[in-house]
Amino acid sequence: MLRTAIIGASGYTGAVLCALLSRHPEVTVDHLYVSEQSQDAGKPIAALHGSLAGICELPLEPLKDSEALQVGRTHDAVFLCTAHKVSHDLTPALIEGGARVFDLSGAFRVNAPDFYTDYYGFEHCYPQLLEKAVYALCEWVDLNALRKTPLISLPGCYPTVSQLSLKPLLVDGLLDPDYTPAINAVSGVSGAGRGAKLSSMFCEVSLNAYGLFTHRHTPEIAAHLGTEVIFNPHLGNFKRGIHATLTARLKEGVTAEAVRECYVRAYAGHQAVRLKNAPVKLDDVVHSPYCDIFAAVKGRHIVITGAIDNLMKGASSQAVQAFNLAYSFDEMTALR
């Protein structure tokens, strides 16, 4: 059995991850950690997230930065559901201790130090780890690299659905390079995290765009797709899920059948992507590990709809999927 720990376990993604790992047949969840200052320190996780009652009753232990090395020594894998700077600071000691790190934050997603000062507000001090980190968009990850690295960086929620929707067309060279793809995506309020903020309180949320031209996921999407995009995120007054509508233009002569074959070829054998015959619906993916995709073509125009659960395929289930691939388990172990 592989010994695991979750740091930042009190949040939404940490709780979902705890539930998934608790039913994994090859895993024990040994420890759940929160920061020293957390008001949740010492509480059983099931006291915060009642759905975990009878599944996981572990306490949320306060963790000092100085204890990260020992955590690395006593666990095979550590999952970081922490703030970006916290992940940045803890990861070196965890890896030095011998653990494989699965980081759900943005601390190692893009191998460009300036990216972190520009979009995350801190100077990245570990360029050698940026070189080692493998970005685990699971359907497109290099499995050999994934199985060798000590550091797996999980994509953001918006980048996951955006890349899965567009990448097959770009890889096959079907899109007109002179037309910038546009992504309009709506996320539920759980994407803002569990912290108390007036702007993400349910009664305060309306359907609205935010972060236009400035959202930190724009450069992440562009870097890993290899093309500029226009990304327009929206906040919706629902709890979970992301629905994305993407528009692009095809090269001259590309047919709807060629597009369909492109997607079928790209996702053959990938169990967490489902190709649909009609525009996707959010209700079909909420609380599931799937990304649903549908593409409509008219002339040279293509409209793609994609949907995921932001806490599952956009975070925790993708982390478990990457864990499964890294250890050569079936990728959907504990996810169905």
Give exposure, 193-226, as e/b (b: 16+ Cβ within 10 Å). Answer: ebeeeeebeeeebeeeeeeeeebbbbbbbbbbbe
- Tokens representing residue 100 in the block: 């494989």
Whole-angstrom distance, CA of residue 154 vs CA of residue 173: 26
Nearest in space to 317 (alpha carbons), one of 57, 19, 2 = 19
Query: Are 31 and 60 a contacting pair, CB within 8 Å?
Result: no
* Three-class secondary structure of residue 73 per DSSP: helix
Cα–Cα separations (whole angstroms), residue 42 to 32, 62, 83:
10, 7, 20
- Give the C-alpha separation, 193 to 178, whole Å: 37
Active site residue 138: no
Residue with tokens 């720990």: 5
How far apart (Å, rounded) are the C-alpha atoms in residues 144 and 325? 10
Of the candidates 18, 56, 157, 291, the residue annotated as catalytic is 157
Could you list the active site residues? Answer: 157
